[in-house]
Amino acid sequence: MAPDDSEEALIDGLVRSAFQVMSVLTRIGAEHDLSLTQLRVLGIVRDRRPRMSDLAAFLGLDKSTLSGLIDRAERRGLLARHASPEDKRAVVVLITDAGRDLTQRLYEEVREALAPATGRLDAQQRQQLAHLLEPVLTPPLPAAPRPATRR
């Protein structure tokens, strides 16, 4: 099937904006000694309390990769491991206060860093863009895997 021009142009735009956003995230992360993945982990764990393997699956990483990742974040006091009460094999990852503070700061920096870009649109266009992006985004999560402990 021949891809029509609108698709071609859209994909190009999406890919370029992805690289641009990633570059911002990478830079801001680096300024706080955090990799892109660490950044992402913080963002996820911020309002969830997933088990290691759920987190790995969500990130699309191997469980063993996650072990090291959490190790380092734990050593820095940003995250903590907790034994799951329901399943003694499982380990639950949760964010510490320090981690939450840092994440909050990071979010603000990201917003500021992207402001020049988003600022080139007026409020109505921004709303429209966000609205058009919505359908493109995959279903964020198959619902809450469990109404987990809400903080």
3-state secondary structure of 104: helix
Binding mask 53-92 for a copy of itself (x = CB under 8 A): -------x--------------------------------
Copy the structure tokens of residue 33: 């000694």
Interactions with a copy of itself, residue window 107-136 (CB under 8 A): 110-111, 114-115, 117-118, 120-121, 123-130, 132-136
148 lines the binding site for a copy of itself (CB under 8 A): no
Residue 146: burial class (beta carbons within 10 Å; 0-12, 13-18, 19+): exposed
142 lines the binding site for a copy of itself (CB under 8 A): no
Nearer to a copy of itself (CB atom), residue 67 or residue 118: 118
Alpha-carbon gap, residue 56 to 17, rounded angstroms: 25
Interactions with DNA, residue window 29-68 (CB under 7 A): 34-38, 51-54, 60-68
Q: Are 56 and 62 in contact (CB under 8 A)?
A: yes
